[in-house]
Amino acid sequence: MTRTVLLLILGMTTILAGLAAGAPRNPEQGRMIYEEHCLRCHGSHGRGDGPDAPFLSPRPASLISAGTSAKPDADLLAVIMNGKPRTAMPAWKEGLTEEQRRDVLAYIRTLIRFGPKPLTPPPP
Ligand code: HEC
């Protein structure tokens, strides 16, 4: 009995903590935002090789590099929100809602592959 109550409390706490951290985001939604706003610089696979990349200095970041992918969500969301000074990275705090910025980050996270799985074909 006590155990059941304890388990219930544990379950509720986990759910509440999950809610506090923000509902899980939608990478499929994020893909559309990425293709519309980010792909031209960061490239279809996030490698920093989009069609505009050769004209920029510094070049757009590879979003799948070990350096970038190891950064916590909070750091990457801050760059997406405020842009990056002295680079072409725009601030998206007006152009995208917080949910959209989280969705696009969720999509970026799906571009990382540690195994030899084939990459998804680039969008048409
Ligand atoms: C006009 C080109 C351009 C566009 C459009 C663009 N970026 Fe960037 N982005 C950059 C550049 C340049 C950097 C900085 C590279 C550096 O640090 O040297 C950058 C950096 C970043 C970083 C930081 C990487 C790190 O390791 O700190 C993230 C995250 C990012 N961009 C996400 C996005 C997202 C998401 C979008 C679309 C909503 C987007 N970018 C649109 C050019 C662009």
**If you measure from the C-alpha of residue 1 to the centroid of ligand 1, how many angstroms do you get, rounded to a whole number?**
53
From the CA of 53, give the closest atom in ligand 1: 2
Buried b (16+ CB within 10 A) or exposed e, 30-69: bbebbeebbbebbbbbbbbbbeebeeeeeebbbbbeeebb
Backbone angles phi, psi at 20, to 5 degrees: -65, -35
pTM: 0.82
Q: Is the CB of 39 under 6 A from ligand 1?
A: no
Query: In the predicted model, what is the mean pLDDT of the chain?
Result: 88
Confidence class of residue 114 from pLDDT cuts 50, 70 and 90?
confident
Query: What does the pLDDT read at residue 20?
Result: 44
**SS3 of residue 58 by DSSP:** coil
Cβ–ligand 1 contact at 69 (below 6 Å): no
Q: In the CATH scheme, what is the code of domain 25-110?
A: 1.10.760.10
Containing 66, the helix (H) or strand (E) segment is helix 66-69
> Mind listing the pLDDT tens digit for each residue in 19-77?
544 688 999 999 999 999 999 999 999 999 999 999 999 999 999 999 999 999 999 99
Sequence spans of domains, the chain: 25-110
- Cβ(111) to ligand 1 under 6 A? no
